[in-house]
Chain A
Amino acid sequence: MSTIAPPPLALQAEITHRCPMRCVYCSNPLALEPRSRELDTAEWCRVLDQAATLGCLQVHFSGGEPTARSDLAQLVAHASAAGLYTNLITSGVMLDEATLATLATAGLEHAQISFQDVEVTTGDRIGGLKGAHARKLGVARMVVEAGLALTVNAVVHRHNADRVAEMIELAVALRASRIEVAHVQYYGWGLKNRASLMPTRAQLEHASAVVEAARERLRGRLVIDYVIPDYWARLPKACMGGWGQRFILIDPAGRALPCHAATTIPGMIFDNVRDRPLDEIWARGAAFERFRGTAWMPEPCTSCERQEIDWGGCRCQALALTGDAAATDPVCWKSPQHRAVRALAQAEAMAPGDRFVYRGAPQKAPV
């Protein structure tokens, strides 16, 4: 039932789940790993070497907040020495000039900083941390000063979808080389807060038009990547470029996952890099084999010409929306559940649900 796996292109190293922010769309699992279970420096270094040998070309240090780990520069240096291109996916709030200089010297190429809005009040409310937006602005400037490539990650939902033009302007002003305008994906905390985040159809269309116009205008100056909200789509995304096709994600406790949300799927067995080498996990691990390729597919995917384009969409979304991880992603118009998903998006976008559940200790929302 397994098909031969091409070597993975990138390793997503979720080095910690700790984070001072509490973004209401965070894709981390609802049960966060505590610090005591995190892989230590030597274990991560071993994983980085194994990833490079296996064929990974890039590593994305993410989390949680990766800069919450004091050994980040050491890990970056180790990854660069192993020949990996290093990216940092960060909220930015814990960074300062000295740390950035150390990371640049260690070989860091690029930092992606997430922004919750262009407006302080909504931004800080969505991120669950007062003062975060102002800090991010300062840190983004420091990233460019330090000679690193900067990506602005603007996360879009119904509370800020009308300000996409300003977000793109912000990226230009910060001298970013790239912006990711990414509608919230509904996993983890994002799924929990979905009803309070879902944009309306009209908002989506407006945002898409703004992006199209900006791409034309900023051609050659700013790369604009755009991620639309799945629930409003007619065709699913090739989640992770296909299950077990391109990416390998290691969680803070060392579990090797085909995607962030894979742990939500019942009956999955995840190997841990503490017990088994990465090449074996990738090639023969049960979790990677389960939905790799096309053999597991149901109809309508089995007889569809897009099966190796989108690989049947997202397994975790199929689970969240149909109760069955092995179903066709119901975002697809061919899925029998497609209309129900569309109706759900419509209903939630119109509902006044604006209460958020925040990760971390039970706290009241700021503001």
Chain B
Amino acid sequence: MNAGSGIGPSGAARPRLAPHVRLSFDARRARWVVIAPERLLLPDETAVEVLRRCNGDASLDDITADLARAFDADRDEIARDVGALLRDLGDKGIIVA
């Protein structure tokens, strides 16, 4: 059930939601929410874009490339932001790799 040693910097890691963590659209509040054991996160739009791509198949590199394409943004910058976000979500037990 544990994430092992958290998300490392490796671009080959394939991040996914931890077991029993859900990303779902809350129609009543018209926003995405992350629901975990006794906890709730309200991710901002950037985090939602990242979280939706964390499906356990896509590698961190794939996710970065995809986001850079979708938002026409600098790849290195995206890589840094995504890395930091995933580390934080890893610490919170939301994402595992």
Contacts and interface: CB of A to CB of B under 8 A. Distances in A.
B69 interface: no
B1 interface: yes
Closest 3 CB pairs of A and B: A220-B6, A110-B37, A149-B20
A223 B33 CA distance: 19
Contact of B93 (A57, A112, A144, A178): A178
Interface in A73-97: 85, 87
B47 interface: no
B37 A151 contact: yes
A146 B1 CA distance: 11
Contact of B33 (A57, A87, A148, A221): A57
A55 interface: yes
B6 A85 contact: no
A110 B35 CA distance: 11
Contact of A112 (B2, B20, B28, B38): B38
B93 A223 contact: yes
Given A7-B28, A109-B20, A149-B20, A144 B3 contact: no
Nearest to B8: A220
27 contacts: A7-B29, A9-B40, A55-B26, A57-B33, A58-B38, A85-B35, A87-B37, A87-B38, A109-B20, A110-B20, A110-B37, A110-B38, A112-B37, A144-B1, A149-B19, A149-B20, A177-B1, A177-B2, A177-B19, A177-B20, A177-B37, A177-B93, A178-B37, A219-B6, A220-B91, A221-B3, A222-B93
A338 interface: no
A257 to B, nearest CB: 19
A223 B35 contact: no
Given A58-B35, A220-B90, 5 more contacts: A57-B26, A58-B40, A112-B37, A219-B90, A221-B6
Contact of A221 (B2, B20, B22): B2
B92 A223 contact: yes
A153 to B, nearest CB: 10
A219 B33 CA distance: 23
Contacts of B92: 223
Interface residues of B, number: 23
A98 B72 CA distance: 53
B10 interface: no
- Looking at B5, B18, B20, the one whose CB has the most chain A CB atoms below 10 A away is B20
A85 B22 contact: yes
Contacts of A24: none
Nearest to A215: B91
Nearest to A175: B1
A220 B37 contact: no
- Looking at B18, B26, B93, the one whose CB has the most chain A CB atoms below 10 A away is B93
- Looking at B2, B5, B28, B38, the one whose CB has the most chain A CB atoms below 10 A away is B38
B88 to A, nearest CB: 10
Nearest to B87: A220
Interface in B62-96: 90-93
Nearest to B95: A220
B7 interface: yes
B35 A57 contact: yes
